[in-house]
Structure 1
Amino acid sequence: MSETEALEAFYGLPNEVRFCKSCVISNQRPSSTVEFKHEKEDKKKTIGFAADGICDACHYHQEKAHRIDWKKREDQLVATLDKFRRNDGSYDMIVPGSGGKDSAYTSHILKYRYGMNPLTVTWAPHLYTDIGWQNFTNWIHEGGHDNILFTPNGRLHRLLTRLAFKNLLHPFQPFIVGQRIIGPAMAQKYGVQLVMYGENQAEYGNDPNENFKPTMDTKFFSAQDPMQMRLGGVKIADIIRDYDYTLNDFAPYIPPTAESLEKAGVEVHYLGFYLPWDPQECYYYAVENTGFQANSERTPGTYSKYSSIDDKIDMFHYFTTLIKFGIGRATYDSAQEVRNGKINREEAVHLVRKYDQEFPQRYYADFLDYIGLSDAEFWETVDQFRSPHLWQHSDNGWALRHVVE
């Protein structure tokens, strides 16, 4: 047994760290984006690697490039849209989003190329950045959309974010839950039967089987006792017991059931199934058609200026993925750009090694204030989540045992 294999791996991660031979993602990337518990026996699935050493996401992109008939897929899109199209002036679809490049592209192309009448809905960021708020308003005013901006109970959301950071090192978990719920929930509320998200996360390494169907897996909406639902790693019943809240306060986080969605005729689709999805091309389209603007400076932890720039907390989400899985934001960005032919692997390796471990200092004070932690408490929490098979400590501090080459 090698030294690495003998080291404990948290979260059910593979002990042996491997990097994709085509892009730069590692086999430590989780295939779930909602919750990872800090329990060593909690086995969680990670991105798959084939015998050739290439990850599932890269293999699917080869499928996209060479084996999918995109004209046939677009015909399927038109047929789906026609099924739900209304001619009485009412909304015929819901498009969830923040006004970032992806949702700006999705809503605009559906309305102006395919003639739909979408209602855009937004689960508010924790803390808007200046450029994020500007792009959100441009999306509505220049892109030309109706919008509902839903902002959850701020006091509760801060608590849930704090709990998620402390218990899961996943400060985005409550936001991700709300973001996924907002589309179907608003569809039910307004009697709309079609919800269209942009890309399926399976494109980037979640369950690859989901790439081959246009609709969202309804297991997320399976019926459950709301009091037993976990937010921030804690049961709602326990949060109600320990803090001054009632079950009613949690209504925005409790998903509609698959049965209720089926009864209402609601279907949740991904535009990326029907049209070839390329984040950089979405950016160009959004700039040209909705007034979207990149940031004036790159995002800490990566080289990009235009991805996920609306929330001050967002960069800490990627920092925590670095801590838990050894994968930072530059890895995610450069891996998808290799797959889409924007850069080559050698360039990606350089970018990862230069930026991936950069600490997001820019909004650090805002983040600490938001979740009510001191600098010392922040680092004490972070260090508890470093898996021994990924990190080693010396007099010079913490360092990753494995970096992409």
Structure 2
Amino acid sequence: MNPLCVTWAPFVWTDIGWVNLQNFVQSGFYNIIGQPDGILHRKLSRLAFEVKGDAWEPFAFGQKSWAYHIAEKFGIKLIFYGENGDLEYGGSTKYKHSPKESLEDWAKHYYKGGDIDELAKVGLDKGIFKKEEILPDKLNWYKPPAPEKVERLGLEMHWYSYYTKWTPQENYYYVVKNTGFIPNDMGRTESTYTKYVSIDDKMDGLHFYLGYMKFGLGRCSRDAQQDIRRHHITREEGVALVHRYDHEFPKRYFPWMLEYLGIEEDFFWEVMDFYREQSNVWERENGQWKLTHIVS
């Protein structure tokens, strides 16, 4: 096969993330990078942080859609994604016995019921956007082609994990050997014990920490759960790791986060507290936030 690879750019590459992408290309692949309008992307991220509790969401929109746009432009009918995240990390089992998913389900399953158009409209109402900033041609990259167009062109996306067992640690060993992948050169990733998963984007730490604010499950919980299910660690080891790292704040890129989103630190914690108040996993005790339940 002669695959055309595509990369929807991170908000800002980490140094090791950029090196790993270059190593991948140099190991024998064509790759097209999609870099969205920086002003629009930053405003979308700022808006998503406040109203949906996930500044990372604009990246997710493009990550899902970019491959479809390139496939359409080059007349490539078969699109491969990596893993079915719902099945691998927890979520809907609707496509447990299918290698592909319906485009109509994207907004419901991945974007909390709201697509890019709804997010942009809220931004317009809040005065974050001007009308000319969110014209359809500017937002189209954040959503796939219309389903009827995809069907007419015969485009199909398939999950690679449907055909081959998806084991992140084994994937890691494979890419080290075959594409020159380098793990985090600063040691383990903040909020967890791993050093090779999701290390290319400076926004990743905030994304996982916001999940901890809303659901009481942080980055370490996610990693440990996978490793326990795959029998790489015991449940007792996983519990110990979660107690040690799940609550850890990702401070390494925190100043960059504030500057990128254009917010003050006080507002950042105001949003954090809002989402803790909306959840049923946090309570205040003597003026301090405390999880109502910690895995044991």
Q: Which residue of 2 aligns with 1:182?
A: 66
Distance in 2 between the 1:372 and 1:228 partners? 20
- The yes-or-no answer on 1:215 pairing with 2:100 is yes
- Secondary structure of the structure 2 residue equivalent to 1:121: strand
Change (3 A) 1:352 1:214: same
Please list every run of at least 4 consecutive aligned residues from structure 1 whose deviation after the TM superposition is greater than 4 angstroms.
Answer: 235-241
Q: Which residue of 1 aligns with 2:13?
A: 128
**Gapped regions of structure 1 (runs ≥ 5):** 1-115
Distance in 2 between the 1:211 and 1:236 partners? 38
192, 195, 220: which one aligns with 2:79: 195
Q: Which residue of 2 aligns with 1:311?
A: 201
Q: Which residue of 1 aligns with 2:133?
A: 245
Change (3 A) 1:314 1:241: closer
Q: Which amino acid aligns with 1:323?
A: M
Distance in 2 between the 1:228 and 1:151 partners? 17
Change (3 A) 1:233 1:302: farther
TM-superposed CA distance for 1:298, in Å, is: 0.9
Change (3 A) 1:350 1:137: same
Distance in 1 between the 2:48 and 2:33 partners? 23
Deviations 1:109-162 (CA, angstroms, capped at 9, x unpaired): xxxxxxx110001110001100000001111012x1001111000010000000
Q: Which residue of 2 aligns with 1:11?
A: none
Q: Which residue of 2 aligns with 1:264?
A: 153
Q: Which amino acid aligns with 2:294?
A: V
Report if the CA contact (8 A) 2:221-2:242 is conserved.
yes
TM-superposed CA distance for 1:236, in Å, is: 6.9
Distance in 1 between the 2:106 and 2:287 partners? 46
- Secondary structure of the structure 1 residue equivalent to 2:290: strand
- Secondary structure of the structure 2 residue equivalent to 1:195: strand
Q: Which residue of 2 aligns with 1:79?
A: none
Q: Which residue of 2 aligns with 1:234?
A: 122
Change (3 A) 1:271 1:237: farther
Change (3 A) 1:227 1:123: closer
Q: Report which of the two has the higher share of helix.
A: 2
Distance in 1 between the 2:160 and 2:245 partners? 31
Distance in 1 between the 2:152 and 2:122 partners? 31
TM-superposed CA distance for 1:399, in Å, is: 1.4
Q: Which residue of 2 aligns with 1:160?
A: 44
TM-superposed CA distance for 1:218, in Å, is: 2.4
Select the structure of larger CA radius of gyration. 1
Change (3 A) 1:228 1:152: closer
Identity percentage of aligned residues:
42
- The yes-or-no answer on 1:398 pairing with 2:289 is yes
- Secondary structure of the structure 2 residue equivalent to 1:268: strand
Q: Which residue of 1 aligns with 2:111?
A: none
Q: Which residue of 1 aligns with 2:110?
A: none
If the length of structure 2 is used for normalisation, what is the TM-score? 0.91
Count of residue correspondences:
286
**Gapped regions of structure 2 (runs ≥ 5):** 108-113
- Secondary structure of the structure 1 residue equivalent to 2:250: coil
Q: Which residue of 2 aligns with 1:24?
A: none
